[in-house]
A and B are shown apart, each in its own frame.
Chain A
Protein backbone atom coordinates (compact mmCIF):
# COMPACT_ATOMS: atom_id res chain seq x y z
CA UNK A 1 0.00 0.00 0.00
CA UNK A 2 1.29 3.39 -0.94
CA UNK A 3 1.11 5.63 2.11
CA UNK A 4 1.46 9.34 1.56
CA UNK A 5 4.10 10.75 3.83
CA UNK A 6 3.28 14.24 5.12
CA UNK A 7 6.23 16.61 5.35
CA UNK A 8 7.90 16.60 8.72
CA UNK A 9 6.76 19.66 10.64
CA UNK A 10 9.34 21.94 12.16
CA UNK A 11 9.35 21.92 15.92
CA UNK A 12 7.45 24.90 17.33
CA UNK A 13 10.66 26.04 19.01
CA UNK A 14 11.89 27.19 15.61
CA UNK A 15 9.00 29.56 15.18
CA UNK A 16 10.12 33.15 15.69
CA UNK A 17 8.27 33.96 18.89
CA UNK A 18 8.98 37.67 18.62
CA UNK A 19 6.76 37.80 15.52
CA UNK A 20 4.45 34.96 16.49
CA UNK A 21 2.49 37.08 18.98
CA UNK A 22 -0.67 38.27 17.09
CA UNK A 23 -0.29 41.97 17.90
CA UNK A 24 3.35 42.03 16.85
CA UNK A 25 2.55 39.97 13.76
CA UNK A 26 -0.02 42.50 12.54
CA UNK A 27 2.40 45.37 13.26
CA UNK A 28 5.14 43.60 11.31
CA UNK A 29 2.79 42.71 8.44
CA UNK A 30 1.54 46.29 8.20
CA UNK A 31 5.08 47.65 8.20
CA UNK A 32 6.06 45.05 5.61
CA UNK A 33 3.59 46.42 3.07
CA UNK A 34 4.43 50.10 3.55
CA UNK A 35 7.73 51.93 3.52
CA UNK A 36 7.24 53.67 6.85
CA UNK A 37 4.40 54.75 9.12
CA UNK A 38 3.93 56.71 12.30
CA UNK A 39 2.57 55.58 15.64
CA UNK A 40 -0.94 56.91 15.03
CA UNK A 41 -1.27 55.20 11.66
CA UNK A 42 -0.08 51.86 12.99
CA UNK A 43 -2.33 52.06 16.03
CA UNK A 44 -5.34 52.73 13.78
CA UNK A 45 -4.48 50.01 11.28
CA UNK A 46 -3.81 47.37 13.91
CA UNK A 47 -6.59 48.39 16.30
CA UNK A 48 -4.17 48.33 19.23
CA UNK A 49 -4.32 50.77 22.13
CA UNK A 50 -1.44 53.20 22.60
CA UNK A 51 -0.18 51.27 25.61
CA UNK A 52 -0.22 47.94 23.77
CA UNK A 53 1.43 49.46 20.75
CA UNK A 54 4.17 50.94 22.89
CA UNK A 55 5.02 47.70 24.63
CA UNK A 56 4.95 45.55 21.49
CA UNK A 57 6.86 48.09 19.50
CA UNK A 58 9.53 48.31 22.19
CA UNK A 59 10.11 44.56 21.86
CA UNK A 60 10.31 44.77 18.08
CA UNK A 61 12.74 47.66 18.33
CA UNK A 62 14.83 45.74 20.90
CA UNK A 63 14.93 42.80 18.51
CA UNK A 64 16.17 45.18 15.77
CA UNK A 65 13.20 44.25 13.59
CA UNK A 66 11.91 47.81 13.56
CA UNK A 67 13.78 51.11 13.36
CA UNK A 68 12.45 54.25 15.04
CA UNK A 69 12.86 57.83 14.00
CA UNK A 70 11.61 60.72 16.07
CA UNK A 71 10.82 63.81 14.04
CA UNK A 72 8.58 66.84 14.11
CA UNK A 73 5.73 67.59 11.75
CA UNK A 74 3.88 70.91 12.02
CA UNK A 75 5.69 71.52 15.34
CA UNK A 76 4.37 68.29 16.80
CA UNK A 77 6.45 65.24 17.62
CA UNK A 78 6.08 62.30 15.30
CA UNK A 79 7.42 58.78 15.83
CA UNK A 80 8.06 56.99 12.57
CA UNK A 81 8.62 53.26 12.34
CA UNK A 82 10.23 51.30 9.55
CA UNK A 83 10.97 47.62 9.14
CA UNK A 84 14.69 46.91 9.17
CA UNK A 85 16.29 44.49 6.71
CA UNK A 86 16.50 42.00 9.59
CA UNK A 87 12.79 42.46 10.28
CA UNK A 88 11.92 42.06 6.60
CA UNK A 89 13.87 38.81 6.40
CA UNK A 90 12.39 37.65 9.71
CA UNK A 91 8.81 38.01 8.52
CA UNK A 92 9.58 36.16 5.29
CA UNK A 93 11.19 33.34 7.26
CA UNK A 94 8.31 33.32 9.71
CA UNK A 95 5.91 32.77 6.82
CA UNK A 96 8.05 29.89 5.66
CA UNK A 97 8.16 28.40 9.16
CA UNK A 98 4.40 28.61 9.65
CA UNK A 99 3.85 27.27 6.15
CA UNK A 100 6.03 24.25 6.92
CA UNK A 101 4.26 23.72 10.22
CA UNK A 102 0.82 23.79 8.63
CA UNK A 103 1.76 21.79 5.54
CA UNK A 104 0.85 18.40 7.11
CA UNK A 105 -2.64 19.71 7.89
CA UNK A 106 -3.10 20.89 4.31
CA UNK A 107 -1.86 17.47 3.08
CA UNK A 108 -4.47 15.71 5.22
CA UNK A 109 -7.35 17.80 3.82
Chain B
Protein backbone atom coordinates (compact mmCIF):
# COMPACT_ATOMS: atom_id res chain seq x y z
CA UNK B 1 0.00 0.00 0.00
CA UNK B 2 1.21 3.44 -0.85
CA UNK B 3 1.52 5.44 2.34
CA UNK B 4 3.54 8.50 1.43
CA UNK B 5 3.61 8.99 -2.32
CA UNK B 6 6.07 11.58 -3.68
CA UNK B 7 3.38 13.76 -5.30
CA UNK B 8 1.55 14.04 -1.98
CA UNK B 9 4.82 15.04 -0.34
CA UNK B 10 5.18 17.66 -3.05
CA UNK B 11 1.64 18.86 -2.40
CA UNK B 12 2.42 19.11 1.32
CA UNK B 13 5.55 21.13 0.61
CA UNK B 14 3.64 23.40 -1.76
CA UNK B 15 0.90 23.89 0.82
CA UNK B 16 3.46 24.60 3.53
CA UNK B 17 5.29 27.11 1.34
CA UNK B 18 2.02 28.87 0.45
CA UNK B 19 1.23 29.21 4.17
CA UNK B 20 4.63 30.80 4.79
CA UNK B 21 4.65 33.35 1.98
CA UNK B 22 3.26 36.23 4.05
CA UNK B 23 6.51 38.02 4.94
CA UNK B 24 5.54 38.87 8.55
CA UNK B 25 8.39 36.88 10.08
CA UNK B 26 10.75 38.36 7.47
CA UNK B 27 9.83 41.90 8.50
CA UNK B 28 10.14 41.03 12.18
CA UNK B 29 13.55 39.39 11.74
CA UNK B 30 14.74 42.25 9.50
CA UNK B 31 13.50 44.91 11.93
CA UNK B 32 15.10 43.08 14.85
CA UNK B 33 18.40 43.03 13.00
CA UNK B 34 18.08 46.75 12.20
CA UNK B 35 17.28 47.56 15.84
CA UNK B 36 20.12 45.40 17.18
CA UNK B 37 22.49 46.78 14.51
CA UNK B 38 21.61 50.42 15.24
CA UNK B 39 21.92 49.80 18.99
CA UNK B 40 25.32 48.16 18.51
CA UNK B 41 26.49 51.15 16.48
CA UNK B 42 24.99 53.97 18.55
CA UNK B 43 24.59 52.74 22.15
CA UNK B 44 26.37 49.38 22.43
CA UNK B 45 26.08 49.40 26.23
CA UNK B 46 22.35 48.61 26.00
CA UNK B 47 22.76 45.85 23.39
CA UNK B 48 21.91 43.19 25.95
CA UNK B 49 18.64 44.88 26.99
CA UNK B 50 17.56 45.53 23.41
CA UNK B 51 18.23 41.91 22.44
CA UNK B 52 16.12 40.77 25.39
CA UNK B 53 13.36 43.14 24.22
CA UNK B 54 13.46 41.55 20.77
CA UNK B 55 13.25 38.09 22.35
CA UNK B 56 10.19 39.12 24.40
CA UNK B 57 8.48 40.45 21.25
CA UNK B 58 8.74 37.09 19.43
CA UNK B 59 5.78 35.42 21.12
CA UNK B 60 3.26 38.29 20.61
CA UNK B 61 4.50 38.64 17.03
CA UNK B 62 3.84 34.95 16.30
CA UNK B 63 0.37 35.20 17.88
CA UNK B 64 -0.42 38.30 15.82
CA UNK B 65 0.90 36.64 12.67
CA UNK B 66 -1.34 33.64 13.25
CA UNK B 67 -4.41 35.91 13.46
CA UNK B 68 -3.24 37.89 10.43
CA UNK B 69 -2.81 34.75 8.33
CA UNK B 70 -5.94 32.97 9.48
CA UNK B 71 -8.10 36.01 8.75
CA UNK B 72 -6.94 35.80 5.13
CA UNK B 73 -6.11 32.22 4.27
CA UNK B 74 -8.01 30.28 6.90
CA UNK B 75 -6.87 27.87 9.57
CA UNK B 76 -4.63 24.90 8.94
CA UNK B 77 -2.73 22.55 11.19
CA UNK B 78 0.05 20.58 9.57
CA UNK B 79 0.82 16.97 10.37
CA UNK B 80 2.65 15.93 13.54
CA UNK B 81 5.99 15.22 11.78
CA UNK B 82 5.90 18.71 10.24
CA UNK B 83 5.05 20.30 13.59
CA UNK B 84 7.82 18.36 15.28
CA UNK B 85 10.22 19.52 12.60
CA UNK B 86 9.06 23.12 13.13
CA UNK B 87 9.54 22.82 16.89
CA UNK B 88 13.11 21.61 16.33
CA UNK B 89 13.80 24.62 14.11
CA UNK B 90 12.30 27.03 16.65
CA UNK B 91 14.38 25.41 19.39
CA UNK B 92 17.58 25.74 17.34
CA UNK B 93 16.83 29.39 16.59
CA UNK B 94 15.96 30.03 20.25
CA UNK B 95 19.23 28.43 21.42
CA UNK B 96 21.24 30.54 18.96
CA UNK B 97 19.36 33.66 19.96
CA UNK B 98 19.86 32.83 23.63
CA UNK B 99 23.57 32.43 22.96
CA UNK B 100 23.65 35.85 21.35
CA UNK B 101 21.78 37.34 24.32
CA UNK B 102 24.36 35.91 26.70
CA UNK B 103 27.14 37.35 24.59
CA UNK B 104 25.38 40.67 24.01
CA UNK B 105 26.80 42.34 27.13
CA UNK B 106 30.48 41.53 26.48
CA UNK B 107 29.97 42.20 22.75
CA UNK B 108 28.41 45.57 23.46
CA UNK B 109 31.46 46.66 25.45
CA UNK B 110 33.87 45.73 22.65
CA UNK B 111 35.33 48.41 20.42
CA UNK B 112 36.95 47.82 17.02
CA UNK B 113 40.28 49.20 18.27
CA UNK B 114 40.24 46.81 21.24
CA UNK B 115 40.45 43.68 19.16
CA UNK B 116 42.87 42.36 16.60
CA UNK B 117 40.72 39.55 15.22
CA UNK B 118 40.66 38.86 11.53
CA UNK B 119 36.97 39.60 11.51
CA UNK B 120 34.67 41.57 13.80
CA UNK B 121 32.04 39.96 16.05
CA UNK B 122 29.28 41.55 13.95
CA UNK B 123 30.51 39.72 10.85
CA UNK B 124 30.61 36.48 12.82
CA UNK B 125 27.03 37.02 14.02
CA UNK B 126 25.61 37.66 10.54
CA UNK B 127 27.53 34.73 9.07
CA UNK B 128 26.14 32.49 11.79
CA UNK B 129 22.63 33.71 11.00
CA UNK B 130 23.43 33.20 7.28
CA UNK B 131 24.42 29.59 7.98
CA UNK B 132 21.14 29.01 9.85
CA UNK B 133 19.12 30.57 7.00
CA UNK B 134 21.03 28.51 4.44
CA UNK B 135 20.10 25.36 6.33
CA UNK B 136 16.48 26.47 6.80
CA UNK B 137 16.16 27.51 3.16
CA UNK B 138 17.45 24.15 2.01
CA UNK B 139 15.16 22.21 4.34
CA UNK B 140 12.01 24.27 3.75
CA UNK B 141 12.70 24.97 0.06
CA UNK B 142 11.84 28.61 0.78
CA UNK B 143 14.12 30.21 -1.81
CA UNK B 144 14.04 33.64 -0.22
CA UNK B 145 15.87 32.30 2.83
CA UNK B 146 18.75 31.34 0.55
CA UNK B 147 18.70 34.86 -0.89
CA UNK B 148 18.74 36.31 2.64
CA UNK B 149 21.65 34.07 3.43
CA UNK B 150 23.59 35.53 0.49
CA UNK B 151 22.67 39.06 1.61
CA UNK B 152 23.97 38.30 5.12
CA UNK B 153 27.19 36.78 3.82
CA UNK B 154 27.76 39.88 1.66
CA UNK B 155 26.86 42.25 4.50
CA UNK B 156 29.28 40.40 6.79
CA UNK B 157 32.06 41.34 4.39
CA UNK B 158 31.27 45.07 4.61
CA UNK B 159 33.70 45.77 7.52
CA UNK B 160 36.50 44.26 5.39
CA UNK B 161 35.77 46.66 2.55
CA UNK B 162 34.81 49.80 4.47
CA UNK B 163 36.48 50.75 7.71
CA UNK B 164 33.79 51.33 10.33
CA UNK B 165 34.15 52.92 13.72
CA UNK B 166 31.59 50.68 15.39
CA UNK B 167 30.18 47.21 15.16
CA UNK B 168 26.69 46.50 13.87
CA UNK B 169 26.74 47.66 10.25
CA UNK B 170 26.39 44.16 8.74
CA UNK B 171 23.29 43.61 10.88
CA UNK B 172 21.84 46.98 9.93
CA UNK B 173 22.45 46.53 6.18
CA UNK B 174 21.17 42.98 5.92
CA UNK B 175 18.24 43.74 8.23
CA UNK B 176 17.20 46.65 6.01
CA UNK B 177 17.27 44.42 2.92
CA UNK B 178 15.19 41.73 4.67
CA UNK B 179 12.66 44.36 5.85
CA UNK B 180 12.33 45.62 2.26
CA UNK B 181 11.75 42.12 0.87
CA UNK B 182 9.40 41.21 3.73
CA UNK B 183 7.35 44.38 3.22
CA UNK B 184 6.96 43.57 -0.47
CA UNK B 185 5.84 40.04 0.48
CA UNK B 186 3.27 41.35 2.98
CA UNK B 187 1.91 43.71 0.38
CA UNK B 188 1.66 40.91 -2.17
CA UNK B 189 0.07 38.60 0.40
CA UNK B 190 -2.56 41.16 1.44
CA UNK B 191 -3.40 41.86 -2.20
CA UNK B 192 -3.73 38.16 -3.01
CA UNK B 193 -5.57 37.28 0.16
CA UNK B 194 -7.92 40.03 1.28
CA UNK B 195 -9.49 39.69 4.70
CA UNK B 196 -12.44 37.35 4.49
CA UNK B 197 -15.48 36.56 6.59
CA UNK B 198 -16.03 33.12 8.07
CA UNK B 199 -18.70 31.12 6.20
Question: Is A35 a contact partner of B11 (Cβ separation < 8 A)?
Answer: no
Dominant secondary structure of chain B at its interface with chain A? mixed
Chain A, range 1-57, C-beta contacts under 8 Å to B:
29-30, 32-45, 50
Known: A41-B74, A76-B198. A33 touches B11 (CB 8 A): yes
A34-B78, A95-B2 are known contacts. Are A40 and B11 too (CB-CB below 8 A)? Answer: no
Taking the closest CB of chain A, its distance from the CB of B94, in whole angstroms, is 23
Task: Say how far A95's CB is from chain B's closest CB, in angstroms.
Answer: 5
How far does the Cβ of A1 sit from chain B's closest Cβ, in whole Å? 35
Most buried by A among B18, B193, B198: B198
Q: Which residues of B contact A (CB under 8 A)?
A: 1-3, 5, 8-9, 11-12, 15, 18, 67, 70, 73-80, 83, 193, 196, 198-199
A-B contacts, 29 listed (Cβ < 8 Å): A29-B8, A30-B11, A33-B8, A33-B11, A33-B15, A34-B12, A34-B15, A34-B76, A35-B78, A35-B80, A36-B76, A38-B75, A39-B74, A39-B198, A40-B74, A40-B75, A40-B196, A40-B199, A41-B73, A41-B74, A42-B74, A45-B18, A76-B198, A78-B198, A80-B75, A92-B1, A92-B2, A95-B5, A96-B1
